[in-house]
Amino acid sequence: MKFADYRISPDIKKSLAELEFKRPTDIQYKAIPPILKGEDVLAIAQTGTGKTAAFAIPIINLISQKKSNSTSDGIQCVILVPTRELALQITDVFNKIAKYTGVSSLTVYGGVDQDPQIKMLKVGVDILIATPGRMFDLVSQKYIFLNKVKVLILDEADHMLDLGFIKDIQDIQRFLPKDHQTLFFSATIDKKIKKLAYSLVTNPIRIQISPKDPVAKNIEHSVAFIEMDDKRFFLERVVNNNPDSKILVFVRTKVRAERVLLALERVKISSKTIHGEKDQQDRINVLNEFRTGENKILIATDVSSRGIDIPDVDYVINYDLPEQPENYVHRVGRTGRASKKGQAISFCSKDEKAVLDEIEKFLDKKVNVLKITKDDYWETVETSNESHSDWKTLIKQTEELIEEKKKKKKKSRKKKK
Q: Long-range contacts: 280-284, Cβ < 8 Å, 24+?
A: 280/84, 280/109, 280/111, 280/112, 281/112, 283/84, 283/85, 284/88
| Window from 39-43, 191-195, 359-363 with minimum mean pLDDT | 191-195
d(CA 346, CA 414): 41
Q: What average pLDDT score do residues 223-252 get?
A: 95
d(CA 103, CA 73): 11
Q: Give the per-residue pLDDT at 16.
A: 96
**Stronger pLDDT, 402 or 353, i.e. the higher one:** 353
pLDDT classification of 47: cutoffs 50, 70, 90: low
Q: What average pLDDT score do residues 203-218 get?
A: 80
pLDDT classification of 386: cutoffs 50, 70, 90: confident
d(CA 182, CA 202): 8
pLDDT classification of 165: cutoffs 50, 70, 90: confident
Q: Give the per-residue pLDDT at 410.
A: 66
pLDDT classification of 70: cutoffs 50, 70, 90: very low
Q: Give the per-residue pLDDT at 215.
A: 81
Q: Give the per-residue pLDDT at 141.
A: 95
Q: What average pLDDT score do residues 79-92 get?
A: 90
Going from the C-alpha of 310 to that of each of 57, 101, 211, 316, the distances in angstroms are 20, 25, 23, 12
Q: What average pLDDT score do residues 287-298 get?
A: 93
Is the per-residue pLDDT at 387 higher than 80?
no
Cα 351–chain centre separation? 28
Please write the tens of the pLDDT for every residue from 297-350. 999 998 766 656 787 899 999 999 998 888 898 889 888 876 788 999 999 999
Q: What average pLDDT score do residues 365-376 get?
A: 94
Angle at which helices 254-266 and 231-241 cross, to 10°: 60
Q: What average pLDDT score do residues 2-18 get?
A: 93
Predicted TM-score (pTM) of the model is 0.75
Q: How many CB atoms lie within 10 A of CB 150?
A: 19
Q: Give the per-residue pLDDT at 284.
A: 83
For the chain, the structural domain boundaries read 3-209, 219-410
Q: Which residues contact 88 (CB under 8 A, 6 or more apart)?
A: 107, 109, 284, 307
Cα atoms in the Cβ-side hemisphere of radius 13 Å centred on 84: 18
Q: What average pLDDT score do residues 132-148 get?
A: 94
pLDDT classification of 368: cutoffs 50, 70, 90: very high
Q: Give the per-residue pLDDT at 114.
A: 94
Q: What average pLDDT score do residues 286-302 get?
A: 92
pLDDT classification of 400: cutoffs 50, 70, 90: low
Domain 3-209, CATH:
3.40.50.300
Q: What mean pLDDT value characterizes the chain?
A: 88
Q: Give the per-residue pLDDT at 401.
A: 65
d(CA 256, CA 299): 9
Give phi and psi for 272, each to the nearest 5: -135, 160
Domain 3-209 identical in fold to domain 219-410: yes
Domain 219-410 has CATH 3.40.50.300: yes
